[in-house]
Structure 1
């Protein structure tokens, strides 16, 4: 049994666009009386997910309990960002009953897990569980790597060379660190896609793990919270491609912020993003658009060529009405001018 004097922490990991923010939004709204606090980590300078989660604030998880750490991998900035943030949350009155951590889609969970052994916090919090989200449709199609068929062909031609891509290593490390896997967007994958995704995950996991299928982040909080894993005491059972390294870098990925004034036609913007992603260079696009003649801001989130956009709330009186989109890709594949032109900026 975990030490009941410690505050439980759930780490939510998963590849880009797997549905982490949607899941945490659901947990906030269905906390069952728990006082929650949330740490959300963004890759890139423009925070989007933290703003979404603050918009879900309720009395048991007010906006001040949602802390955003942007422009830096949470597991690479432990001393400067993560530890002070945790200490700030522990000092809240009333103290949170449970802390949720949403990592960036590019984060490796194991270095973060090791941070829970830091003397300043290890006697006060425990990792209740590591939850890995996997997009069923994307995993079934192999989109966690740029071109799995080409990689497999190269490996078959020269088995002495390891052609693992950075994307696949991130995916495998997230699964290897998990206590529970949530298979998301099952409505888009269909029965065959779900079966294929399960087969991929089973082949990649190092130990048997429960897999729960869900749609739109809806899951009974009792399934996710209260696992009592004490994962910080079980690090050796969670192998990583980066074991033995003191730290890791995210030089394999890069992001830019494309900013301009208003968008005349939201449908045209969606088409532009789909066209840009069709080239296989772009992993993720997310941000807000200012649509001409509309008092609401348009929330845009894209994974590959799948784009979702909806008006989330009115622009604030003190907010500049501008369009700002974060674009994430593998390093060397971001041409800011070309991408800006492709988006119509």
Structure 2
């Protein structure tokens, strides 16, 4: 069976807060084919899955959105990913295209390798790996992708370490990509954009298309239909972890805060900014109740940069339970963060 007879799958990878969920939601709302989504939230609460299920898109009903929250996909291929993929393919009305959103900590290459597993190899193909880059964050130097540049900066900034696994994850995502989306281009100067594009080019050993985007807005025809068959092209996708059997996430901690109702969005945002400023918080994402409002507030933070919007109505008759997933470097002060958020 050739690749044209297989169901194409698009893997969307990218670092924490780069804009993957926004991009996937855009695809769901604009694709002209029957879709399914596998979303991998790193943590105990599936925030991304809830966001996507709130789209109400006819071409991708809620039961076609599969959420895997038992750790990153590249670590749970046999237990979670392959069974989930088979479940979608075995549906009475199977999808015409599957979109897979990895967690920010996942390495894409092990996931691409999984498409060669006998159980699914004849049924699916990797149409393309799309790496979403937080251009503003990279421009600010928070996620340096050039080991030599990191080494030069170490003398001036002790917080930069070229052995930091965050940088390796970032590079591995770029190295595996068929398309790179330089997201949040509106938050960068022309000089920033040129610098980030140059740094990405230094990492890549092959030509990869790069598109500048804002809020994950890019024509669906640019994303779907790449025809990369990436599972047959592994040699062209080097990884820092090629010689390792497995990788882990022991350098990260994740915890959940149950949030009360807040008087206003700004009341919560101020607390989130303070928590990020005073502690080593990488990522915050969740929902919260705003007093007197019928809709829940979606909040997403990368460092001190917080975005928020009213997402959808709270279910009738159900408790309005606010929850926030917090991800940071291992050993960060969870008690201190809780105290700030809860007051």
Distance 2:13 2:25 in 1: 15
Match of 1:343 in 2: 341
Contact 2:300 2:308 (C-alpha < 8 Å) held by counterparts: yes
Q: 2:288·2:322 contact (CA, 8 Å) conserved in 1?
A: yes
Deviation digits for residues 67-115 of structure 1 (CA, Å, limit 9, x no counterpart): 1111311111111111110011001222111000000011110111111
Alpha-carbon shift at residue 327 of structure 1 (Å): 0.4
User: Compared with structure 1, are the counterparts of its residues 144 and 280 closer, same or farther at alpha carbon in structure 2 (3 Å cutoff)?
Assistant: farther
Mean Cα deviation higher: 267-276 or 171-180: 267-276
Moved more, 206-215 or 314-323: 314-323
Note if 1:79 corresponds to 2:110.
no
* 1:269 and 1:344 in contact (8 A); partners too: no
Change (3 A) 1:256 1:73: same
1:37-70 CA distance string (max 9 Å, x none)? 0000001111111111111232211111111111
Aligned to 1:327: 326
Q: Provide the residue aligned with 2:282 in structure 1.
A: 283
1:284 is paired with a residue whose SS is strand
8 A contact 2:3–2:229 mirrored in 1: no
Hey, which bits of structure 1, 4+ residues long, moved more than 4 A?
Answer: 148-151
Partner of residue 166, structure 1: 165
Aligned-partner Cα distance in 1 for 2:196–2:318: 42
Residue 258 of structure 2 corresponds to 259
TM-score (norm 2): 0.93
Give the secondary-structure state (helix, strand or coil) at the position aligned to 1:319: coil
Residue 291 of structure 1 aligns to a residue whose secondary structure is coil
How far has the Cα of 1:280 moved from its partner?
5.9
Give distance in 2, aligned partners of 1:150 and 1:95: 46
Q: Is contact 1:129-1:179 (8 Å) kept?
A: yes
Measured against aligned partners, the alpha-carbon deviations of 1:203-260 in whole angstroms (never above 9, x if no partner) come to 2222221100111111111111111110000111111111121111111111100113
Which residue of structure 2 aligns with residue 199 of structure 1? 198
Supply the distance in 2 between the matched residues of 1:142 and 1:15 (Cα, whole angstroms): 14
5+ residue gaps, structure 1: none
Aligned pair count reads 338
Shift of 1:139: 1.0
Distance 1:273 1:114, change over 3 A: same
Task: Please name the residue that 1:135 is paired with.
Answer: 134
SS of corresponding position for 1:128: strand
Question: Tell me, what secondary structure is at the counterpart of 1:87?
Answer: helix
In structure 1, distance between residues paired with 2:150 and 2:87: 47
Q: Does structure 1 conserve the Cα–Cα contact (< 8 Å) formed by 2:279 and 2:337?
A: no
Change (3 A) 1:300 1:59: same
1:19 aligns with 2:46: no
Shift of 1:272: 1.5
Cα RMSD over matched residues? 2.1
Q: 1:145·1:165 contact (CA, 8 Å) conserved in 2? A: no
Cα pair distance change 1:216/1:163, threshold 3 Å: closer
Structure 1 residue aligned with 2:152: 152
2:189 counterpart SS class: helix
Q: Is the 8 A contact 1:284 1:303 kept in 2?
A: yes
Alignment of 1:309-328 (within 5 A): 309-328=308-327
1:150 positional shift: 7.5
Partner SS for 2:44? coil
Q: In the alignment, is the contact (CA less than 8 A) between 1:280 and 1:304 conserved in 2?
A: no
- TM-score normalized with structure 1 length: 0.93
Residue of structure 2 in register with 1:104 after alignment: 103
